[in-house]
């Protein structure tokens, strides 16, 4: 599963709130994932592909980001939104995303090929919100190693995913951030 998107998407352990409005209607929602070009959000507001809407959100402690978006897809309450050209402040969004990764409230999975081996890199929080994508990559991409050097926080669900990768799929643990290494040692000391 090589993600060929132009911009990397980040996920959240607790999806941030978003306010949406279009044609005089407004509603609330939650951000599922976000990149510098757009986002996926859940909202009951009846937005349809082709519509333009306004949105306002914060990521962690960032200032409010107020942006115009185009609706590109809808499936149930899941709405694909693309930021309109002329993003009001792309640096504000980039900084907010970087802060969310640094404090562990957001996560990114990326796959790399190094010396003929597939390496899965986890950045930000290693938690249960990554379960679906993590398992898909393990089962379908032939991951040989985990690079955990970018992990900024880890919880029991993240450790359980790692244990599954090692025990069931024979994945090696590569570079590790200090927070992960300590948690992994504590887990194994208790086994």
Q: What are the pLDDT digits (tens) for 69-111?
A: 999 999 999 999 999 876 566 778 888 889 899 988 899 999 9
pLDDT the model gives residue 89: 67
Is a pLDDT exceeding 70 seen at residue 130? Answer: yes
pLDDT the model gives residue 20: 94
Nearest to 104 by CA among 14, 1, 9, 170: 14
pLDDT the model gives residue 191: 61
pLDDT the model gives residue 23: 86
Is a pLDDT exceeding 90 seen at residue 157? Answer: yes
What does pTM read for this prediction?
0.80
- 93 vs 163, higher pLDDT: 163
Domains of the chain, first to last: 10-102 (2.40.10.220), 106-189 (3.30.750.24)
């Amino acid at each position: 599963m090589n993600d060929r998107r132009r911009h990397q998407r980040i996920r959240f352990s607790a999806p941030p709130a978003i306010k949406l409005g279009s044609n005089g209607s407004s509603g609330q929602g939650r951000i599922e994932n976000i990149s510098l070009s757009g986002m996926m959000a859940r909202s009951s507001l009846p937005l349809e592909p082709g519509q333009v809407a306004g949105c306002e959100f914060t990521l962690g402690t960032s200032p409010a980001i107020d942006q115009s978006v185009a609706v590109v897809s809808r499936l149930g309450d899941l709405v694909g939104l693309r930021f309109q050209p002329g993003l009001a402040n792309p640096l504000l969004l980039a900084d907010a995303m970087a802060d969310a990764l640094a404090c562990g409230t957001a996560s990114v999975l990326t796959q790399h090929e190094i010396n003929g081996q597939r390496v899965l890199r986890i950045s930000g929080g290693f938690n249960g919100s990554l379960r679906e994508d993590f398992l898909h990559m393990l089962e379908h991409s032939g991951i040989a190693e985990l690079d955990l050097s970018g992990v900024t926080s880890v919880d029991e669900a993240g450790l359980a995913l790692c244990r599954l990768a090692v025990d069931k799929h024979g994945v090696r643990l590569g570079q590790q951030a200090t927070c992960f290494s300590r948690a992994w040692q504590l887990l194994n000391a208790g086994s």
